[in-house]
Amino acid sequence: MLTYSELLTKRRSIRDFEPKKVAKNVIQEIIQEACLAPSASNGQPWKFIVINNQTLMQKLSTESKKNILAKIEQDPTARIARYKATLTDADFNVFYNAPCLVIICGKKESDYFQRDCSLAVAYLMFAATVRGLGTCWIGLGDQIQDTKLRQEIGLPDDYEIAAPIIIGYPKQIPAPTPRNAPIILKTID
């Protein structure tokens, strides 16, 4: 078992996976542990959608790409515009052909659901790491607007995607990326 320090240093964003399914019970355990995350007023606003279907993930990728490219057309100076060339590549799948996609979502009206779901994501990533799995938060994969597609994946109209997370067995673990030293603006004794 990894120590907490090892867990923090071994977790990586993985985008290249072995062609091996992750067992449903393992995903269930990971999600159960993600639900141990703290939340504002113990609201626990997170909900999960688990997708193991490559065809459906491809449809979600195409939908996200289409919607992001439309945003870039409206504002070519937007930060997301740096991904335009990648997003126009028909072969690019925003979910990197991962064997599993877990979408963490919550009700739009909830004041803190984004923060709370982010904490659940961190717990989910750590739970996957200790099991030898890799994860990656796919920011380009949250633009699912098509009503029929949202219904197909079970995403209610009044819910918003907080984080699409891909999970699988990594082909390799990349070297750690450099981290900046913490900047403490002020210490008050």
* Number of folded domains that form the chain: 1
Give the structural domain span for 32: 4-168
The pTM for the full model equals 0.94
Q: Which residues pair with 60 in a beta bridge?
A: none
pLDDT tens, position by position, 53-72: 999 999 999 999 999 999 99
Does residue 183 sit within a domain? no
Classify 136 as helix, strand or coil.
strand
Tens digits of per-residue pLDDT, 23-54?
Answer: 999 999 999 999 999 999 999 999 999 999 99
| Listed residue (168, 161, 158) closest to 26, CA to CA | 168
Closest-CA residue to 173 (of 129, 140, 107, 137):
129
Q: How far is CA 69 from the centre of its chain?
A: 20
Give 4's pLDDT tier (boundaries 50, 70, 90). confident
Q: Are 46 and 104 in contact (CB under 8 A)?
A: yes
Q: Which of 119, 142, 152 is nearest to 46 (CA)?
A: 119
Q: Which CATH number is 36's domain given?
A: 3.40.109.10
22 lies in a domain?
yes
pLDDT band at 6 (very low <50, low <70, confident <90, very high): confident
